[in-house]
Amino acid sequence: MRKFGAILCGLMFAAVSGGLAPSQAQTGGGETSFRALYKELVETNTTLSAGDCTVAAQRMAARLKAAGYADSELTVFTVPDHPKEGGLVAVLPGKDPKAKALLLLAHVDVVEAKREDWTRDPFTLVEENGFFYARGSSDDKAMAAIFTDSMIRLRAEPRMKRTVKLALTCGEETTGVFNGAEYLSQNRRELIDAGFALNEGGGGRLDPAGKPLALAMQTAEKTAENYTLEARNPGGHSSMPRPDNAIYELSGALAKIQAYRFPIHLNPTTKAFFSEQGKISPPSLGQAMTAIAQDPENKLAQTVLSRDPLLNSTLRTTCVATLLEGGHAENALPQRARANINCRIVPGETIEGTRDKLAEVIGDAAISVTAKPQRGPIGKAAPLDPAVFEPARKLAAEMYPGLPIIPIMSTGATDSIYLSAAGIPSYGVPGVLYEYDGGGIHGLNEHIRVSSVMKGREYLYRLIKLYAAA
Ligand SMILES: [Zn+2]
């Protein structure tokens, strides 16, 4: 999950090279080779400050090549201005050229991590007490490794009906640098063309004791947008204050935004989320969820659910002040005061409409409300397509008996926005169960259960095969 990246053009195809060809044991498709691949990927530093995504892409390409992929099926791409933010596209051709391909997307870049802040070295994969520890062990190298490993295993299988494509990209975790998914969607659309895509954002959740709670299929995400509120004033000497004051006016506007709640706006994903989640949640919340799914205007349900930050953010667009600046000297009346408002807009609402609503709520023409330049497309929700959900549910019933697959709308953002905006419906795929508290994702001592990774590997491999054969 992240904010937005910028795009640059120009492209170089690098022949598949770099590093030693992995041995048979390491590419055999078994757990040993998976662990070796996962370790190599995690221990390849891919932070923006000190890492190299292109090296990670080359190393994964070398493993695919050793598993039998031809050079023509492997594309390591970079752009001239960002040689260290490259990625890989691998293609396993299917038998039926008319059948739409399946795309597997995972980002290989990770959030920064400082050795001195961590208990262990963040760039060494450590296995301890049933957990893997390292930066990216969860977000998103577990899935990147599982997808790459799946491509290796599929290579040894009889040809599937559909073509299966893998895109390993950089830039998901950073803003205003280079985003590989955005680049491919806008410049190499044909390379990743597919009927639908599987990405991060779904997974599933364990309870604090590690007991599986539910699996999640992400089908929608909110659009993040920033707005600048600004109050201006002629200023003057602070020894003679006047009633009009830029900081006070801005504070008044902020208080109004703080008190305002956008109207409830459910979509097919969030309706399904509340109806499914309602069945497995404690009665106090469960009843309200079921009620809101049936009638979004149910006032009591609205009140109960709005008390929970995550559920409130699932119900509606949210806007919150995140940055503030004002004044220019201690002894001068402020001439300007500004605030940044970060909004998360539900599918079906617009950036302009949200701007207008903020201005209406403030109701003070002296406060300007400006949308910051948009840094990415508006994501489109993926349909709750039975052809996607049913195979996932069937396999879950076998591998995770009793665990429902719940459609979710992410309040954060993934690279799915680029795919969906380019016409490739993108699903945050279930299968890997994450810690109740997020397991240090983007934070300290990121970790994930070994059992979650291994069972997720089996689930995703089998699910990919089901989709590729359908
Ligand atoms: Zn991520």
How many C-beta neighbours within 10 Å does residue 304 have?
Answer: 18
How far does residue 109's CA lie from ligand 1's centre (Å)? 8
> H/E element holding 216?
strand 212-221
Kindly report whether the global pTM for this prediction surpasses the value 0.85: yes
Two structure tokens written together for 470:
């359908």
Rounded CA gap, 372 and 356, in Å?
14
CATH of span 223-371: 3.30.70.360
* pLDDT of 13: 37
Write out the DSSP string of 198-212.
EEEEEEEEE-TTS-E
Residue 2 burial class via C-beta count within 10 angstroms: exposed 0-12, middle 13-18, buried 19 and up: buried
Rounded CA gap, 376 and 3, in Å?
9
* pLDDT of 181: 97
How far does residue 201's CA lie from ligand 1's centre (Å)? 8
How far does residue 10's CA lie from ligand 1's centre (Å)? 26
Count helices and strands in the chain by DSSP H and E runs: 15, 18
- What is the crossing angle of helices 450-469 and 386-399, to 10°? 140
Instruction: Report the half-sphere exposure of 277 (CA within 13 A, side-chain side).
Output: 25
How far does residue 230's CA lie from ligand 1's centre (Å)? 33
How far does residue 122's CA lie from ligand 1's centre (Å)? 16
Per-residue model confidence as pLDDT tens digits over 201-221? 999 999 989 999 999 999 999
Write out the DSSP string of 432-450.
EEEPTT-TTTTSSS-EEEH
Write out the DSSP string of 28-41.
SSSHHHHHHHHHHH
Confidence category of residue 7, pLDDT binned at 50, 70, 90: very low
* pLDDT of 28: 55
Q: Are 4 and 224 in contact (CB under 8 A)?
A: yes
Per-residue model confidence as pLDDT tens digits over 127-179? 999 999 999 999 999 999 999 999 999 999 999 999 999 999 999 998 778 99
- Domain ranges for the chain, please list them: 7-222+380-469, 223-371
* pLDDT of 2: 46
Per-residue model confidence as pLDDT tens digits over 303-349? 999 999 999 999 999 999 999 999 999 999 999 999 999 999 999 99
| Token pair 């994930």: residue | 448
How far does residue 334's CA lie from ligand 1's centre (Å)? 41
How far does residue 449's CA lie from ligand 1's centre (Å)? 17
7-222+380-469 is a CATH 3.90.1150.10 domain = no
Residue 228 has pLDDT above 60, yes or no: yes
How far does residue 203's CA lie from ligand 1's centre (Å)? 12
Residue 71 burial class via C-beta count within 10 angstroms: exposed 0-12, middle 13-18, buried 19 and up: exposed
Residue 286 has pLDDT above 70, yes or no: yes
Confidence category of residue 288, pLDDT binned at 50, 70, 90: very high
Q: Which residues surround ligand 1, an ion (CB under 5 A)?
A: 139-140
How far does residue 143's CA lie from ligand 1's centre (Å)? 10
How far does residue 108's CA lie from ligand 1's centre (Å)? 9
